[in-house]
A and B are shown apart, each in its own frame.
Chain A
Amino acid sequence: MAEQSIISPENLVYKKTDVMTDRELHYCPGCGHGTAHRVLAEAIEELGIQSETIGVAPVGCSVLAYYYLNVDMQEAAHGRAPAVATGIKRVLPEKYVFTYQGDGDLAAIGTSETIHACNRGENILIVFVNNGIYGMTGGQMAPTTLPGMKSSTCPMGRDVKTMGNPLKITELVAQLPGTHYVTRQSVHTPGNVRKAKRAIRKALEYQKEDKGTCLVEIVSNCPSGWKMNAVDSNKWMEENMLPFYPLGDIKVPGKGLVNGGKDGG
């Protein structure tokens, strides 16, 4: 039968990368974290740097990232991943060091560590997964929650008058002289996944040049926190998150800020 002959090792075009372990992910169905882990792992595999890479896991949904990424990993206290990564990179400068953080970790409790690591120009990669909510603890309002967006602690929608404005931390760190490459990507369509992988790969390659901090934001969904199914949450993300957090490069090496650093280019 023709179909039988297609499935053979020489015809293989895609399979789960070995830089991910075989452990089943604990994330909710359709969660962007799984895809974000995988693009990071595939970028590491393509560069052939699995044995030279050290990751720092955050606190939040992705606290167990060290179970899934088949590289050396270190757990950090809540929000302190850039500080831990700074230490690792300074002691082992020849290694590739990345942090993997959510928005509650990076943009709330870890704002100080993030901004100062970026301002010092630490030669690390920060992968920032932004779903606009505290997913792990039950969908509370995060600094990145959109105006009018409902969460369990702002059930009528975020009112900027009393609850403040959402924090565009990616645009903020792009202004700092220490950052080298700052970009915003997403992983909800095949095209976006491929672009996100290229961005992470580029950022890891820049680490060889010792030019400064690279930050790749991945706008993601949170089906459980947003109380939608995965397909609807991706649609909602495209209609609501992406106009506020536009995709594209924000700071490009050699060119500086794209579009004045106001939004993605």
Chain B
Amino acid sequence: MAAKGDIIIDIERCKGCQVCLDACPKDVLEMSRKVNAKGYQYTVKVNSDCTGCANCAVVCPDAVISVYRVK
């Protein structure tokens, strides 16, 4: 199935709290192995199951995720 949604993660603002991982119904997100300039692991998209539901972006305390969905 073609992906319906996609996200852009502003990795330099991410603090690696992992709240978005719990919120994602499709297990699209995981933590990176690398760290960003602040020394935090950051969220990365690991598959193309994203539906564009925006749950990850809505719970993110630092508003690092932008969400796109095919309309």
Q: Which residues of A contact B (CB under 8 A)?
A: 2-3, 6-8, 10-17, 20, 24-25, 27-35, 38, 187-190, 193-194, 223, 229-231, 234
Contacts and interface: CB of A to CB of B under 8 A. Distances in A.
B69 A13 contact: yes
B58 A30 contact: no
B61 A231 contact: no
Contact of A25 (B18, B19, B62): B62
A54 to B, nearest CB: 23
Contact of A33 (B8, B48, B54, B61): B61
Given A35-B59, A194-B58, A29 B68 contact: no
Contact of A34 (B4, B16, B18, B61): B61
B28 to A, nearest CB: 12
B62 A11 contact: no
B15 to A, nearest CB: 4
The 3 closest A-B pairs by CB, nearest first: A34-B61, A30-B17, A29-B15
Given A2-B2, A190-B23, A231-B19, A14 B67 contact: yes
B15 A30 contact: yes
A185 to B, nearest CB: 14
A7 B18 contact: no
Contacts of A31: 61
A32 B60 CA distance: 9
Contacts of A15: 57, 66-67
B45 to A, nearest CB: 10
B66 A35 contact: no
A7 B3 contact: no
Contacts of A223: 17
Given A190-B55, A193-B58, 8 more contacts: A2-B2, A6-B5, A14-B57, A25-B61, A27-B62, A30-B17, A34-B61, A231-B19
Contact of A14 (B4, B18, B48, B54): B54
Contacts of B62: 24-25, 27, 34
A208 B40 CA distance: 43
Contacts of A35: 59-61
Contact of A7 (B6, B54, B55, B65): B6
A190 B62 CA distance: 14
A188 B60 CA distance: 9
Contacts of B58: 14, 190, 193-194
Nearest to A15: B66
A230 B17 contact: yes
Contacts of A10: 71
A231 B60 CA distance: 12
A193 B66 CA distance: 16
Contacts of A30: 15, 17-19, 61
A189 B61 contact: no
Given A8-B68, A27-B61, A234 B19 contact: yes
Give the one of B13, B40, B63 with max A CB within 10 A: B63
